[in-house]
A and B are shown apart, each in its own frame.
Chain A
Amino acid sequence: MLNEKVICAGFGGQGVMLIGQLISYAGMLEGKEVSWLPSYGPEMRGGTANCSVMVSERTIGSPVITNDATTAIVMNLPSLDKFENDIAAKGNILINSSLIEKKATRSDIVAYYVPANEIAGELGNSRVANMVMLGAYLELTKTVEVDSVMKALNKIFGEGKAHLLDVNRAALEKGAKAIKA
């Protein structure tokens, strides 16, 4: 039974809150139970940011993840250090290897290394590194469909940012390829 508990973490500005929202939004569009819970407080202003996302087939009790994340997506080193221990055994960690040289230290979880910033750079838009990580995550877990994520992104972007949809879709695809390789 689907019961995904995802931590998305990185620097403020890397778009980790957004990819968390996209997973929740897409899950909602697919009729699944979802929740999104941000960290909040002074650390949001330029420091590290993170959110906890749940996508489940049953009603969500606590939206808090405590040592039982199924996946962590970490975009910077402090996030790796902070959240590696919050992953359940046999869980996944997706590491942005463009910015994190360190390897995962636990042997009971599966680590994937995605050079998200480099891939985003190849696409000509360094800001879509988060979407590269999201693409990799979706390919790995199949929690929600890529199409649902694009529908969600379309809603969040609105008309003003509609021209950015293509590069974001490309980032999702590149991320998916990166994890298959």
Chain B
Amino acid sequence: MAKVLMKGNEAIGAAAIKAGCKYFFGYPITPQNELPEYMSREMPKVGGVFLQAESEVAAINMVYGAAGAGARVMTSSSSPGIALKQEGITYIAGAELPCVIVNIVRGGPGLGGIQPAQSDYNQVTRGGGNGDYKLLVYAPANLQEMVDLMQEAFDAADYYRNPVMMVGDGMIGQMMEPIEFKESKSRFELPNKDWSTVGTKGARKPNIINSLALDPAELEKHNHKLQAKYDLMKANEVKYETYNMENAEVVIVAYGTTSRIVRNAIIDLKEQGVHVGLIRPITLWPFPEKAFDEVPADCKSLLSVEMSMGQMVDDIKIASNGRWPVSFYGRCGGMIPTPEAVMDKVKELVGGAK
């Protein structure tokens, strides 16, 4: 198929519909508004349903109902809206329902701003709501990758019966880039949704969608079952990219938009004789711990570059397990790191320019 030039938010919608998403429940919030707007135009054309809910809370609970009724369903929001959705997300995780949640991250805390940020790292990787649960979290770096991952996001949600989050930021949502919608085959063998509530037709016992278990022993058992699922996701769903790791004096860890900026800095640094590697997590959870085995033993430092105050640093420290010092450079509140600033930080770590 020929390339098309599309805005990120609209490309997400197009990719979701292509992945078989038929139901979308949303609520307006900047900078993701083009996504629900796109869905309101396009969903009816494929026999699907777009509905603007009265709140993010209602939207995520509509997702719960639709997912429990066996549908491929999606919602989207931005940081404070995702915070509101957390109640529904933990119920969805607890009831083991599949859905895709798009988070076009903006600066916080509170109402924050509307410019790009990555300060939802903890909100999306630590569960966010109550209880022990995990989301599979993708953080693509460009629109093509976002589009390519969408089919996988829906398939993984169905396969694991787990909510999947697609994390972008204001820049990913708002920018236009050429995109090619490729045909892809699912790598999952998807089970029938024989657990869904579609009416018994008098032919079977009722199906129940539920996250309540008043018996502690039963609830503990349920948690063990969930944990086994998360372990399976950890074993099978990690995605990352490494770049320029050979002889790297410093290895930068960056994801999404920030990784693009970092890559520019790495190319320019190379021209100046400074070798810098990149670990780019594509899944934020599970975090790509294995990638750190590629870091040269004599690497001077790991450097986390983020559009937040260093929320990813803990994961880098856990993954690197004391093998290298971990430094941090970040901007926040909607400010975007410049390649120059990243280069300066690297030079500081390697002891000045060569």
Whether B261 is near chain A, meaning CB under 8 Å from some CB there, is yes
Within 8 A of B (CB), among A17-52: 21, 24-25, 28, 34-38, 40-41
Pick from B174, B262, B263: contact of A37, CB under 8 Å: B174
| CA–CA, A131 and B338, complex, Å | 31
A160 within 8 A of B: no
State whether A34 touches B260 (Cβ < 8 A). Answer: no
With the chains together, A64 CA to B340 CA distance in Å?
13
Q: Are B115 and A41 in contact (CB under 8 A)?
A: yes
A78 to B114 alpha-carbon distance, docked (Å): 22
Does A61 count as interface, using CB distance less than 8 angstroms?
Answer: yes
From known contacts A21-B5, A28-B5, infer whether A36 and B175 are also in contact, taking CB-CB under 8 Å.
Answer: yes
Is A63 in contact with B264, judged by CB distance below 8 angstroms? no
Q: Of B175, B261, B338, B339, which is within 8 A of A35 by CB?
A: B175
Q: How far is the CA of A104 from the CA of B137 in the complex (A)?
A: 48
Q: Is A107 an interface residue (CB 8 A)?
A: no
**A62 near B175: Cβ-Cβ < 8 Å:** no
Q: How large is the interface on A (under 10, 10 to 19, 20 to 34, 35 or more residues)?
A: 10 to 19
A154 at the interface (CB under 8 A from B): no
Give the B interface residue count (CB, 8 A). Answer: 24
A141 close to chain B: CB less than 8 A: no
Query: How would residues 44 to 70 of chain A score, 1 for a CB under 8 Å from any chain B CB and 0 otherwise?
Result: 000000000000000011111010000
Quote the shortest CB–CB distance from A52 to chain B (angstroms).
9
Render B3-25 as a binary contact track against A, CB cut-off 8 A, 1 for contact. Answer: 10100000000000000000000
- B176 contacts the other chain (Cβ, under 8 Å)? yes
Q: B5 touching A62 by the CB < 8 A rule? A: no
Which residues in B have their C-beta under 8 angstroms from that of A35? Answer: 175-177
Inter-subunit contact B338/A28 (CB<8 Å): no
Query: Which A residues from 99 to 132 make CB contacts under 8 A with B?
Result: none
Q: Which residues from B are CB-within-8-Å of A61?
A: 260-264, 267, 339
In the complex, chain A residues whose CB is within 8 Å of the CB of B177: 34-36, 60, 63
- Give residues of chain B (176-225) contacting chain A, Cβ–Cβ below 8 Å: 176-178
The answer to whether B178 touches A28 (Cβ under 8 A) is yes
B279 within 8 A of A: no
The residue from A34, A37, A38, A63 contacting B178, defined by CB atoms under 8 A apart: A34
Query: Is residue B49 within 8 Å, beta carbon to beta carbon, of the partner chain?
Result: no
Query: CB-nearest residue of chain A relative to B116?
Result: A64
Give Cα distance in the complex from A34 to B69, angstroms.
42
CB pair B175 A63 closer than 8 Å:
yes
Shortest Cβ distance from residue B325 to the other chain A in the assembled complex, whole angstroms: 26
Q: Are A64 and B336 in contact (CB under 8 A)?
A: yes
Chain B residue, CB-CB nearest to A63? B175
Tell me the bound Cα distance from A28 to B2 in angstroms. 10
Q: From residue 308 to 340 of chain B, which have CB atoms closer than 8 A to chain A?
A: 336, 338-340
Residue numbers of A with Cβ under 8 A of B are 21, 24-25, 28, 34-38, 40-41, 60-64, 66
Interface pairs A-B: 6 shortest CB-CB = A61-B264, A36-B176, A62-B261, A37-B175, A28-B178, A61-B260
17 more CB-based (< 8 A) A-B contacts, given A40-B30, A61-B261, A66-B336: A24-B5, A24-B176, A28-B3, A35-B176, A36-B5, A36-B176, A40-B31, A40-B170, A41-B30, A60-B260, A61-B267, A62-B261, A62-B339, A64-B171, A64-B336, A64-B338, A66-B338
| Chain B residues engaging chain A, CB cutoff 8 angstroms | 3, 5, 30-31, 114-115, 170-171, 174-178, 257, 260-264, 267, 336, 338-340
